[in-house]
């Protein structure tokens, strides 16, 4: 007699201890879960486990709809029913309204009552209950499915501020010995109440983190929108660079050969890189618009080529006046003829020089030395009287400097201003208190203008001093700039042209050679072109012609 009794006592004592241990383990698991759907699923499944319930439903009370409860997770073991959570199948049931027409509290529904009265509701048998709850919906479900809902337990989930954010409803507790449906025991009710409290805190923390992430991402988009409003050219760039960045990063992540075969990204790594790509040019918010949008060499707040054209008209007018005065003094037809010949010769050359300067004003890949010399010659060849009556040369030193820009439309000072945006970006990003999983954003974003040979800016880093992510962004930034259709100073390169230039950059030590090979081998360029490039710029690509690429 004594032996069996002692064994029963030990078993009874061990069971609560085991279930408390399970509850602690569940609490730890809930606090570590990052995915919202999996978290909600784990909460309900844990409640079913510790009560040995056949089924259950988790309802949520959303901040923007506090007057109703929505079905989030629905489970039933005997019906093999699984909706919501990781299943991808939405429950599809109408929300439970907390208030009836006219604003009266809906106290006839168990889960609504649990919320409105902030108390746990335990029902031993829904078909024999005399407490006044309306179980018509439950009975209709039973009739459709052949189920028999008996015992119910509805527990409100309260966050750390005492706000009810959801309800756990469990159905049909089963006896652990023979599987009979039994009422939920008081000890199980307390365990579920404890679980609901832990679950509410875990859910609130997860929602708070999601809200902070959404707020942060909205701020990032706001910065890019501000840059976009300032200049549509940089705005398009800020949107497209992350696309190429993530395409190339995923290609590197799946590669199984070459020096980068072992490089892998987690979901946090992906998020960190995408944020860095979105913010890589945030410093351009401080760059003057007339520099960012400089479409021609003489453009400031307006294109000064028109001023130069006006001066040509003044020069031609003065020449005509001189010719007319000379004709008036001429004594012979031969003198008049010579004066007219000289005048027409002057006008012809002036018109030719005017057209030449207008062509020079358009930025290009390179400018010939002979053309630059001709600009200097034109500047000295013609003179005109300014508003003060002073005789001055046709072009000012500043105009000569801009018209002789070797490549593009920016002079040295303007290029320094543009380049300074990287330092501003780094300074802005390093000033932010990044969480641990985003701490490398400044480094990734700040390295996209560095070169593998150390000749880049702003810090002159070499390949070995840079992360793979920063090197990925370097290629993404260049390829977008080459193919961009919305630059004010040039048309976008075709796909083949862009790859030829990118290959030459590999040869010259500008970009990472291993990443370039993956970019070509995995056809990242093709993937991006189909998604982002205009059809007329997507031409056939002959990989054998690309410098620095040895092929598969």
Domain co-membership, 418 together with 400: no
Domain that holds residue 350: 305-408
CA 442 to CA 434: how far, in whole Å? 9
CA 181 to CA 117: how far, in whole Å? 27
Phi and psi (nearest 5°) for 385?
-95, 125
Instruction: Tell me what pLDDT residue 1 has.
Output: 37
10-residue mean pLDDT profile of the chain (552 residues): values are: 40 56 70 78 88 94 87 94 92 92 91 95 93 91 93 91 91 92 92 85 83 87 80 74 96 94 94 94 85 84 91 94 93 92 95 96 88 95 89 94 91 88 92 92 94 94 96 96 74 90 95 96 95 92 90 69
Q: Determine how many CB atoms are found less than 10 A away from the CB of residue 525.
A: 24
Domain co-membership, 29 together with 172: yes
Instruction: Tell me what pLDDT residue 489 has.
Output: 59
Burial of 431 (0-12, 13-18, 19+ CB in 10 A): exposed
4 assigned to some structural domain: no
Domain co-membership, 76 together with 151: yes
64 assigned to some structural domain: yes
282 assigned to some structural domain: yes
CA 199 to CA 252: how far, in whole Å? 38
Domain co-membership, 78 together with 114: yes
28 assigned to some structural domain: yes
Q: Determine how many CB atoms are found less than 10 A away from the CB of residue 230.
A: 18
- Residue by residue, DSSP assigns 40-82 as HHHHHHHHHHHHTEEEEEEEE--TT-TTEEEEEEEEETTTTEE
CATH of the domain at 42: 3.30.450.40
CA 285 to CA 242: how far, in whole Å? 18
Domain co-membership, 62 together with 134: yes
CA 289 to CA 301: how far, in whole Å? 9
Domain boundary among 379, 408, 437: 408
CA 99 to CA 117: how far, in whole Å? 13
Instruction: Tell me what pLDDT residue 461 has.
Output: 95
Domain co-membership, 166 together with 191: yes
Phi and psi (nearest 5°) for 97?
-80, 135
Domain co-membership, 105 together with 190: yes
193 assigned to some structural domain: yes
Domain co-membership, 322 together with 465: no
Question: Whole-prediction pTM value?
Answer: 0.70
283 assigned to some structural domain: yes
CATH of the domain at 533: 1.10.3210.10
Domain co-membership, 152 together with 47: yes
Domain co-membership, 135 together with 32: yes
Number of domains the chain is built from: 3
Domain boundary among 386, 408, 430: 408
CA 40 to CA 90: how far, in whole Å? 13
Q: What are 81's strand-pairing partners?
A: 76
Domain co-membership, 35 together with 140: yes
CA 120 to CA 399: how far, in whole Å? 82
**What is the token pair recorded at 56?**
């259950």
Domain co-membership, 28 together with 123: yes
317 assigned to some structural domain: yes
300 assigned to some structural domain: no
Bridge pairing between strands 96-97 and 81-83: unpaired
Domain boundary among 378, 408, 438: 408
Burial of 417 (0-12, 13-18, 19+ CB in 10 A): middle
């Amino acid at each position: 007699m004594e032996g069996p009794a002692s064994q029963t006592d030990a078993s009874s004592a061990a069971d609560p201890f085991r279930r408390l241990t399970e509850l602690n383990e569940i609490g730890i698991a809930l606090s570590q879960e990052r995915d919202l759907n999996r978290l909600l699923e784990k909460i309900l499944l844990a409640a079913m486990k510790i009560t040995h319930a056949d089924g259950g439903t988790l309802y949520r009370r959303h901040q923007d709809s506090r007057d109703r409860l929505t079905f989030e997770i629905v489970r039933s073991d005997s019906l093999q029913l699984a909706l919501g959570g990781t299943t991808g199948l939405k429950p599809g049931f109408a929300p439970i309204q907390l208030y009836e027409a006219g604003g009266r509290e809906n106290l006839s529904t168990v889960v609504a009552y649990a919320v409105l009265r902030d108390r746990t509701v335990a029902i031993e048998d829904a078909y024999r209950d005399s407490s006044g709850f309306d179980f018509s919906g439950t009975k209709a479900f039973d009739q459709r499915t052949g189920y028999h809902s008996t015992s119910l337990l509805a527990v409100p989930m309260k966050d750390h501020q005492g706000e009810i954010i959801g309800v756990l409803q469990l159905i049909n507790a089963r006896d652990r010995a023979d599987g009979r449906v039994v009422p939920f025991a008081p000890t199980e009710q307390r365990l579920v109440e404890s679980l609901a409290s832990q679950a509410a805190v875990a859910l609130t923390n997860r929602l708070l983190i999601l809200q902070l992430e959404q707020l942060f991402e909205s701020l990032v988009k706001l910065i890019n929108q501000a840059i976009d409003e300032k200049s549509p050219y940089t705005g398009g760039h800020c949107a497209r660079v992350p696309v190429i960045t993530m395409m190339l990063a995923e290609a590197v992540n799946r590669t199984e050969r070459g020096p980068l075969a072992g490089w892998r990204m987690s979901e946090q790594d992906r998020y960190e890189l995408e944020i860095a790509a979105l913010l890589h040019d945030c410093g351009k918010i401080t760059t003057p618009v007339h520099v960012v949008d400089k479409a021609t060499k003489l453009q400031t707040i307006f294109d000064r080529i028109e001023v130069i054209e006006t001066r040509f008209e003044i020069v031609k007018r003065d020449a005509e006046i001189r010719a007319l005065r000379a004709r008036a003094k001429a004594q012979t037809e031969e003198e008049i003829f010579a004066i007219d010949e000289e005048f027409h010769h002057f006008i012809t050359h002036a018109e030719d020089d005017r057209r030449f300067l207008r062509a020079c004003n358009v930025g290009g890949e390179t400018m010939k030395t002979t053309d630059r010399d001709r600009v200097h010659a034109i500047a000295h060849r013609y003179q005109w009287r300014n508003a003060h009556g002073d005789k001055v040369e046709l072009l000012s030193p500043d105009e000569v400097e801009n018209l002789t820009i070797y490549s593009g439309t920016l002079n040295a000072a303007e290029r320094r201003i543009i380049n300074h945006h990287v330092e501003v970006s780094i300074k802005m990003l390093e000033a932010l208190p990044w969480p641990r999983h985003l701490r490398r954003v400044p480094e990734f974003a700040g390295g996209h203008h560095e070169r593998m040979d150390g000749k880049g800016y702003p810090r002159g880093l070499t390949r070995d001093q840079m992360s793979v992510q920063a090197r990925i962004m370097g290629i993404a930034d260049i390829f977008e700039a080459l193919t961009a259709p919305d630059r004010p100073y040039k048309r976008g390169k075709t796909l083949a042209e862009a790859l030829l230039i990118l290959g030459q950059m590999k040869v010259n030590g500008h970009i990472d050679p291993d990443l370039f090979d993956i970019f070509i081998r995995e056809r990242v360029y093709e993937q991006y072109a189909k998604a982002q490039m205009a059809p007329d710029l997507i031409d056939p690509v002959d990989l054998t012609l690309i410098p620095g690429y040895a092929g598969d």
